[in-house]
């Protein structure tokens, strides 16, 4: 027989059951929330993997680490360099192309949790195409103290800022390519059929009848001379688009031969002898002797 002192009332038992259930629910929600949080930043771009990789390469080789700084008067960190491998992130992912950027001797950078002392910022970029015109990017950022080797995770600002920098570079490249294509189309549609109109900026089509083989050969030689040029004495910059601010694909040496395929008022669309295509400003090119 149970004594009255040890007999539990139904209300007390229900209260304890409710407390247990409440604890269980809170614990379950906490575990679920933690399990659903991925480190780093995940983003998607409306571009092919090849296009996205060009923009990523530019940011990886950019000396700036975006989204962090050490001093209020200078809200930017410079001096970062690309790296072939970084051990702080552990094993490499099974899929995607991986790139790293490292900035050493940084004093307590902002937007890394509980930072102190000198240390190194490590960035990892994982790029993977998800469709013909879509690409996913995952970015991780950590700060490791130099002396105690303590690891500090980013609060997300650095990764998101790096992604935004990639997106802006990509959009700029796409805009330049679109403008170049539109300009090339306009030049082709408006190409004059007689020499002298539009300042002689377009090729004469070989439409005039020729009366002899000698005249034909002369005509072909004349057109070839106008299509073949070379860089000026100071060399030339082969640009990705007909703009001074466009990315430089490569520097061409002096007197490098060029095949002109598109003409605009100020630029030549050219192909180099080794098969590279781009744009050269008219001031940096001259006719062959």
**What is the secondary structure of 150-211 as a DSSP string?**
-EEEB-SHHHHHHHHHHHHHHHHHHHHHHHHHHHHHHHHHT--SSTTGGGG-SPPPS-S--S
Asked whether the beta carbons of 100 and 88 are under 8 A apart, the reply is: no
Q: What phi, psi does 168 have (nearest 5°)?
A: -65, -40
Is CATH 3.40.50 what the domain over 41-174 is classified as, yes or no? no
From residue 160, alpha-carbon distances to 111, 155, 223, 277 in Å are: 11, 10, 53, 34
Position 212 scores a pLDDT of 61
Q: Is the pLDDT of residue 23 over 50?
A: no
Prediction pTM value? 0.55
pLDDT in tens, 242-287: 888 888 899 999 999 998 888 888 888 888 988 888 999 999 999 8
Q: What is the mean pLDDT of the chain?
A: 79
Mean pLDDT, residues 82-111 taken together: 91
pLDDT range class, residue 27, cuts 50, 70, 90: very low
Residue 138 φ/ψ region, left for φ over 0, alpha for ψ in the -120 to 50 degree band, beta for the rest: beta
Asked whether the beta carbons of 256 and 236 are under 8 A apart, the reply is: yes
Tell me the domain boundaries of the chain: 41-174, 201-287
Q: Is the pLDDT of residue 5 over 50?
A: no
pLDDT range class, residue 44, cuts 50, 70, 90: very high
210: Cβ–Cβ under 8 A, 6 or more apart, which residues? 216, 219
The H or E element spanning position 144 is strand 134-145
Asked whether the beta carbons of 69 and 75 are under 8 A apart, the reply is: yes
Q: Is the pLDDT of residue 231 over 70?
A: yes
| Alpha carbon distance 86, 34 (integer Å) | 26
Name which of 59, 261, 26 is nearest 158 in CA terms. 59
The percentage of the chain sitting over the pLDDT mark of 90, rounded to a whole number, equals 44
State the virtual CA torsion across 90, 92, 93, 96 in degrees, nearest 10: 140
Asked whether the beta carbons of 252 and 279 are under 8 A apart, the reply is: no
Q: What phi, psi does 254 have (nearest 5°)?
A: -65, 140
| Alpha carbon distance 142, 71 (integer Å) | 19
Two structure tokens written together for 282? 């008219």
Beta bridge pairs of residue 136:
44, 128
Position 116 scores a pLDDT of 75
Q: CB 207: neighbour CB atoms within 10 A?
A: 7
Instruction: For tokens 């990017």, name the residue.
Output: 137
pLDDT in tens, 209-221: 445 666 766 665 6
Position 38 scores a pLDDT of 53
**Domain range 201-287, its CATH number among 3.40.50.620, 2.30.30.40, 3.40.630.30, 3.40.640.10:** 2.30.30.40
């Amino acid at each position: 027989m149970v004594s009255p002192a040890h007999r539990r009332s139904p209300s007390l038992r229900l209260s304890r059951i409710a407390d247990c259930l409440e604890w269980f629910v809170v614990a379950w929600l906490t575990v679920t929330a933690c399990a659903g949080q991925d480190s780093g930043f995940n983003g998607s771009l409306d571009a092919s993997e090849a296009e996205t990789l060009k923009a990523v390469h530019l940011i990886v080789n950019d000396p700036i680490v975006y989204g962090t700084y050490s001093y209020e008067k200078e809200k930017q960190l410079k001096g970062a360099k690309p790296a072939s491998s970084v051990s702080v992130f552990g094993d490499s992912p099974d899929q995607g192309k991986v790139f790293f950027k490292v900035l050493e001797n940084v004093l307590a950078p902002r937007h890394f949790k509980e930072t102190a002392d000198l240390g190194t910022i490590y960035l990892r970029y994982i790029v993977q195409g998800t469709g013909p015109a879509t690409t996913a990017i995952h970015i991780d950022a950590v700060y490791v103290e130099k002396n105690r080797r303590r690891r500090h995770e980013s609060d997300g600002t650095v990764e998101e800022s790096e992604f935004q920098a990639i997106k802006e570079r990509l959009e700029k490249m796409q805009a330049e390519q679109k403008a170049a294509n539109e300009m090339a189309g306009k030049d082709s549609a408006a190409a004059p059929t007689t020499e002298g109109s539009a300042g002689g900026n377009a090729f004469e089509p070989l439409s005039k009848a020729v009366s002899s083989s000698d005249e034909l050969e002369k005509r072909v030689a004349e057109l070839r001379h106008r299509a073949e040029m070379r860089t000026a004495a100071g060399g030339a910059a082969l640009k990705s688009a007909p703009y001074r601010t466009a990315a430089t694909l490569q520097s061409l040496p002096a007197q490098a031969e060029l095949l002109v395929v598109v003409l605009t008022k100020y630029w030549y669309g050219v192909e180099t002898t080794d098969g590279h295509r781009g744009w050269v400003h008219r001031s940096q090119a001259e006719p062959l002797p």
